[in-house]
Structure 1
Amino acid sequence: MQQFSSTHWIRRHAAKLAIVSLALVLMAPLAACGGSSSSGTSSGRVNLTFWSWVTGIDKSVADFNSSHPNIHVTVANVGGGTTEYDKLYTAIKANNEPDLGQVEFQLLPTFETTGSLVDMSQYGANSLKDQFVPWTWNQVSIGNAVYAIPQDSGPMAMYYREDIFKKYNIPVPTTWAQYADAAAKLHAANPNEYITDFPPKSGGWFTGLVWQAGGQLFGINGQSWKVSINNPQSQQVASYWQDLLNKKLVKTELDFANAWYRDLQTGAVATWISAVWGSGTLSSNAPQTAGKWRVAPIPQWQAGQNVDGNWGGSTTVVFKNTQHPKE
């Protein structure tokens, strides 16, 4: 088990920024693949705008700008997640999107279907394939077409309140069966406390759990989409959580909302099945619980397994409206 602390969060955060920096650095050589016909400034420098909500990414971009004097990237934080996406959809309709944008893996197909993304394979993007783990590259490519460069990923884990588990003498679960047993014991000991929250509108979270169970909701079959929402693994995950819901052993607050933050702060929930970026959410929104959280591997469907899912993770896309696609 690993203790959660501010130092731990900084290390996690720094790693993410390093990956973002790597993505920017890897994209730079694409400009050289076909020369540059971009107008840029009178000094020859190309100016690009990058929409992103990652805290501290401006520092990574500053490093990139320092090492690439002929390209200057300006970061604009227009809001995180859905807020940025809504503005991007509006910008796409108005042909006024930025040069670059941060798009999470699960939203990438939606943006690709708008026809607004540059296929970077024509600028040599496939030469970068071996610098990423296969599944992340599969998320950004269709056949030989490459519609984004991976930024980071979100391996899942279980954050838990060590003090609550010790208070009620409940072992930290390592399997989903043990997790359900811990949920029953905790709620029986204190009806005001729950093992966790089941966020009813968090599709990315649920998809990550299906992933861990070995299921895949969507895929490609030749030139067509393959949809398998009701695959056996998806039904297994849904049935598991439905059982906890029927027994009223989990809460059902919307995640990343005020009531949900309050539950994290007050101890109304004892665990959060999240991704590695979750430590930043806890430190920022539940400061009174600092030092009480620990992190453990996500529970397994079978004892002794070591299988993970993914929730989140982002990419950098280039929009067709840019005047500098090669850069």
Structure 2
Amino acid sequence: MMRRTIPLVATVSALALTLAACSSGAASGGSDAADDGPITLDYWAWGTAQEPMVDAWNAAHPDIQVKRTDAGGGTDSSAKLVTATRGGNAPDVAIVEYNTLPAMIVAGVAADISGNVDGLDAEFAPGVWSQVTFDGATYGVPQDAGPQALTYNKAKFDELGIDVPTTWDEFADAAEKVHEADPDSYITTFAPAEFGGFAGLAQQAGAEWWSVDGDAWTVDFDDDASVAVADYWQDLIDRDLVLAEPLLTPEWNAKVNKGEVLSWPAGLWAAGVLYGVAEESAGDWAMAPMPQWTEGDPAVAFQGGSAVVVTTSTEHAEAAAEFARWMGTADEASAAQIEQGQYPASLAGQELTLESDAPLLTPEQDDYWQVAAEITKDTIPEISWGPNVNVASSAFQDAMSAAVTNGTPLRDALTETEAEVVDDMTTTGFEVTQK
């Protein structure tokens, strides 16, 4: 039985939080239900689970109706939230990934909802709740967690006689066997824009890109662990054993559907995404623990995971906070997440998985959620995220994409990313050192 979840801890300095307190509002107490009709909340959220979750909310709450907009995932959505907040047209509520929440606080996007979530911390493991609390204030309600795992096309693995790799060395050997058996097929994709995915793999290897001591930050993107991970993928790219291209393009989706991309090392949410682009292959797939950098060390990082935040722009803070609470804790919300392959952040939702069918992509894997629970218990504790993850993500995407296009070393892209991150933090007023 799943007992606890240890997620990444996003850390911001006192300076960052002071700036946020000056620029962001707080959700107020009391009810803001309209007297002349239902309230309509605008909600920005991506992912296949969101539509059934919102539908369930709307059916049960006729006085507070929610209109969902898919504004893009991850950093795309966060960047748009900052722009919309500055332009005065932000939504009432939004999904924000844990690693970008510090930046959303500093930018004045996420409101302090402490007064609306009293006692809610008991619904979550302490580490999960710590992802949304900073300097004693709460800025969101956790919705899902994304420990990294290997989602793979079991039917193709079986057809090719390939065992599920348990180490990254075995993964490289399997990549060679796949491509030898079918030159059009690859074991996976190295996607240069996947900042969160690479970060998770680097953290699994021991990297820590940001650390803070008081108000003094250390930034180290090209540490030995990160460089080793970059060199690993460089070797596979150079030998044409993995695809080096973006994910979720029409071309990539077609390859997944044809069985030419056989796995995706990513957060547990990958099953839902793959089902959305390759529904006809449902039943062919399974999920296993992530390969290990060091044999016998099962530690993995979280990739993604998100919270529902109330924005400082809303005129319906009470209703927005009520919606956020429901999305993070209601059984109906958790059930919709589970069906789509998301792993709920709440303790009750995680327990509910053990009574649930496997995700739609992997209907024949009876132990899916048991495996997920074991993976979650092995996640890495207290990885720090800096206050400018959005800048880091953009710099990483640009540098890695250029490296893949130009054939230059991936390790150099890490150095370029670090330089941009340090420059941005220094310009903003943070005390920064580099190792």
Q: TM-score, normalised by structure 1?
A: 0.78
Which residue of 2 is the match for residue 52 of structure 1? 45
Q: 1:36 aligns with which of 25, 30, 39?
A: 30
What is the deviation of 1:45? 6.6
SS in 1 for 2:226: helix
What is the deviation of 1:306? 2.4
CA contact (8 A) 2:29 2:116 kept: no
Determine the C-alpha separation between the residues in 2 that align with 1:216 and 1:284: 33
What is the deviation of 1:212? 2.4
Is residue 109 from structure 1 mapped to residue 109 from structure 2 by the alignment? no
- Which residues of 2 match residues 118-137 of structure 1 at below 5 A? 118-121=111-114, 123=115, 125=117, 127-137=119-129
What is the deviation of 1:108? 2.0
Q: In 2 relative to 1, CA 224–144 (structure 1 residues): closer, same or farther, beyond 3 Å?
A: farther
Determine the C-alpha separation between the residues in 2 that align with 1:127 and 1:223: 30
CA contact (8 A) 2:42 2:67 kept: yes
Determine the C-alpha separation between the residues in 2 that align with 1:259 and 1:88: 29
Indicate the percent of aligned positions where both proteins have the same amino acid: 37
CA contact (8 A) 2:42 2:69 kept: no
Letter in 2 for 1:105: Y
CA contact (8 A) 2:132 2:140 kept: yes
SS in 2 for 1:172: coil
Which residue of 2 is the match for residue 140 of structure 1? 132
Which residue of 1 is the match for residue 306 of structure 2? 314
Q: 1:234 aligns with which of 226, 232, 235?
A: 226
Letter in 1 for 2:101: L
Determine the C-alpha separation between the residues in 2 that align with 1:161 and 1:237: 24
SS in 2 for 1:151: strand
Is residue 92 from structure 1 mapped to residue 85 from structure 2 by the alignment? yes
Q: 2:272 aligns with which of 280, 293, 310?
A: 280
SS in 2 for 1:186: helix
Which residue of 1 is the match for residue 368 of structure 2? none
Which residue of 1 is the match for residue 181 of structure 2? 189
- Which residues of 2 match residues 227-306 of structure 1 at below 5 A? 227-306=219-298
Deviation by residue 1:12-70 (Cα, 9 ceiling, x = unmatched):
xxxxxxxxxxxxxxxxxxxxx974274x422697653322234453554455567667x
What is the deviation of 1:110? 2.8
CA contact (8 A) 2:47 2:273 kept: no
SS in 1 for 2:96: strand
Q: How much is the aligned-residue C-alpha RMSD, in angstroms?
A: 2.8
Q: In 2 relative to 1, CA 129–217 (structure 1 residues): closer, same or farther, beyond 3 Å?
A: farther
Letter in 2 for 1:111: M
What is the deviation of 1:115? 1.5
What is the deviation of 1:257? 0.9
SS in 2 for 1:139: coil
Letter in 2 for 1:94: G
Which residue of 2 is the match for residue 12 of structure 1? none
Letter in 1 for 2:215: Q
Unaligned runs of 5+ in 1: 1-32
SS in 2 for 1:317: strand
What is the deviation of 1:202? 0.7
Unaligned runs of 5+ in 2: 1-26, 320-435
What is the deviation of 1:204? 1.1
Which residue of 2 is the match for residue 23 of structure 1? none
